[in-house]
Every structure is written in C-alpha cells, then in structure tokens.
C-alpha cells in the first residue's frame, strides 16, 4: 500500500504542478494579450496624431498663403487709395479686387483658422471617425484656397499693370 500511496501522492503533486503551470500560463497569456492590446492602441493613437499633425500643417500652410494674399491685396489697396482721384477713376473697373475678392480671401483666412481650431481639438478617442470623414473635405477646401491664391496673384498682377498704365495716361495728359 505504501507504493500506491506514494504513487497517489506523486500523481497529486504532478497534478498540482500542472495546475500551477496552467495558472501561470494563463497569467502570462493574459499579460501578453494586455500588452498587445495596449501596443495596438498606442500605435493607433500615434497614427492618428501623425495624420492630425499632417492635416494641421496643410491647413496652416493654406492659412499662411491666404494671409499673405490678403496682405498683398491690402497693401495694393492702400497704394491705390493714395493715388490721385483721376487715376482711381480710370481704375474703377478693376476695384472689384478690393470689394469682392479681398472679402473672399479674408473669409478663407477665417475658415482656415476655424478648421485648424477644430482639427487641433480632435482626440483619438472621440475624433478618429471625424478625421476619416472630414479629411477629404478639408483637403478640398485647402485646394480651393490654393486656387484662390493663384487667382489673386493673377488679379494683383493685372491690377498693377493697369495701374501703371493709368499713371502713364494721367501723366501724359498733364501739361508740362
């Protein structure tokens, strides 16, 4: 009977060791799963932050371009308003650059600022879907801003050319 008791105790010890090993294995698996889940969440968060930062940079670049355009038109407007009335009268057909286009550019600057503020407030927990849904729309708006800037540069060039021509015409009319 001693051999049977020894074998029973040995079997019980092996079973207990197997049970402890199973518990340890489950604990290690749980820790591994938790680490993998946390690593995946961190990877998602970093990817979101990278995308958000890129979008913020694009929006900021667009805002800078529009702000530069606004300053150029504003400077040109100040120069134009300093010209004699006769030159201003000759340029009346070109002043929509100041009355129509400048307000649109200023609106674009405000819109870019609002977009930047909105995107800057996004967090990975609440706004990952917003980024996916709105990113294309924001990029389209930014493309529109770039087009507006290019159009403004063309209009500014035409306006400067016509202003010089008007100055030349006025100077030729004046007696020496």
Q: Which residues contact 30 (CB under 8 A, 6 or more apart)?
A: none
Tokens 């007696």 — which residue? 175
CB 159 within 8 Å of CB 78: no
Q: What is the pLDDT of residue 150?
A: 86
| CA atoms within 13 A of residue 45's CA, in its CB half-sphere | 8
d(C-alpha 25, C-alpha 4), whole Å: 31
Structure tokens at 147: 């087009």
- H/E segment holding residue 169: helix 124-173
pLDDT tens for 58-115 read 889 889 989 999 999 999 999 999 999 998 888 988 888 888 888 988 988 998 899 8
Structural element, H or E, at residue 13? helix 2-81
Q: What is the pLDDT of residue 71?
A: 93
Structure confidence by residue, pLDDT tens digits, 141-167: 778 888 888 888 898 999 999 999 988
Task: Inform me whether the pLDDT recorded for 39 exceeds 90.
Answer: yes
How confident is the model at residue 147, as a pLDDT?
A: 85
**In the chain, what are the domain boundaries?**
42-173
* pLDDT above 70 for 175: no
- Has residue 127 got a pLDDT over 80? no
The pLDDT-based confidence of 13 (bands split at 50, 70, 90) is: very high
pLDDT higher than 60, residue 33 = yes
């Amino acid at each position: 009977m001693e051999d049977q008791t020894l074998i029973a105790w040995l079997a019980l010890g092996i079973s207990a060791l197997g049970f402890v090993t199973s518990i340890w294995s489950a604990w290690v698996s749980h820790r591994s799963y938790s680490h993998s889940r946390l690593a995946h969440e961190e990877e998602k968060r970093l990817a979101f932050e990278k995308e958000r930062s890129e979008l913020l940079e694009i929006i900021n670049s667009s805002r800078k371009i529009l702000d530069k355009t606004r300053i150029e038109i504003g400077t040109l407007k100040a120069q134009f308003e300093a010209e004699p009335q006769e030159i201003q009268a000759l340029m009346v057909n070109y002043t929509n650059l100041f009355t129509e286009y400048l307000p649109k550019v200023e609106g674009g600057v405000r819109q870019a600022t609002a977009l930047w503020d909105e995107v800057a407030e996004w967090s990975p927990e609440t706004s990952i879907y917003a980024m996916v849904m709105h990113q294309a729309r924001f990029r389209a708006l930014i493309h529109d801003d770039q087009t507006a800037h290019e159009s403004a540069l063309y209009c500014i060039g035409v306006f400067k050319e016509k202003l010089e021509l008007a100055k030349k015409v006025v100077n030729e009319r004046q007696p020496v």
